[in-house]
Amino acid sequence: MFNIHNISGKVETFMTIQRAAQAGTIESSDILVSVRPGTGKLELSLTSSVEKQFGAAILATIREVTSQMGVADAIIAATDHGALDCTIRARVETALERASKPGEAVS
């Protein structure tokens, strides 16, 4: 995690993804979020049992949490089984925090 003063003087916080990590489960009402270091951009993929109806909303939530945490370079794969918005937010935040800590990759 590091801070940068942008052109308007505002401090922006960035989080660096250092290793592969994941959070959540593949159980009902949960979402498994896997994160690994990116290739210079943010790449998202989603598999969901409710993708037709909620796919866009789930991806928007993942993007929002990722942006709030200052992550712009990562590969994120999510497998959803009907998780609520608050669950998605918690799992993405946990996966990103775990991936930002140095250590052994979690497969």
Partner 1 sequence: MRRTMLFLPGNNPNMIMNGEYLGADSIILDLEDAVSPEEKDAARKLVRNALTYMTFGNREVIVRINALDTPYWEEDLAAVLPCKPDVIMPPKVIDGEYVRTLDAKMTEIERSHNLPVGRIGLMPLLETTLGIENAFEIAKASPAWRHFIWGRRI
Residues of this chain that bind partner 1 (CB under 8 A): 23-24, 27-30, 83-87, 89-91, 93-94, 97-98
* Torsion sign over Cα 93, 102, 36, 64: positive
Q: Of 80, 76, 75, which is closest to residue 47 (Cα–Cα)? A: 80
Helix axes 85-100, 51-68, angle to 10 degrees: 40
Query: At its nearest, how many Å lie between partner 1 and the CB of residue 100?
Result: 12
Query: At its nearest, how many Å lie between partner 1 and the CB of residue 71?
Result: 16
Show the tokens assigned to 54: 């909620």
Beta pairing, strands 2-5 & 11-14: antiparallel
Query: At its nearest, how many Å lie between partner 1 and the CB of residue 12?
Result: 23
Q: Which is nearer to partner 1, 59 or 95 (CB)?
A: 95
CA gap 58, 45 in Å, rounded = 11
Query: At its nearest, how many Å lie between partner 1 and the CB of residue 83?
Result: 6
Q: Which is nearer to partner 1, 64 or 97 (CB)?
A: 97
Q: Which is nearer to partner 1, 69 or 74 (CB)?
A: 69
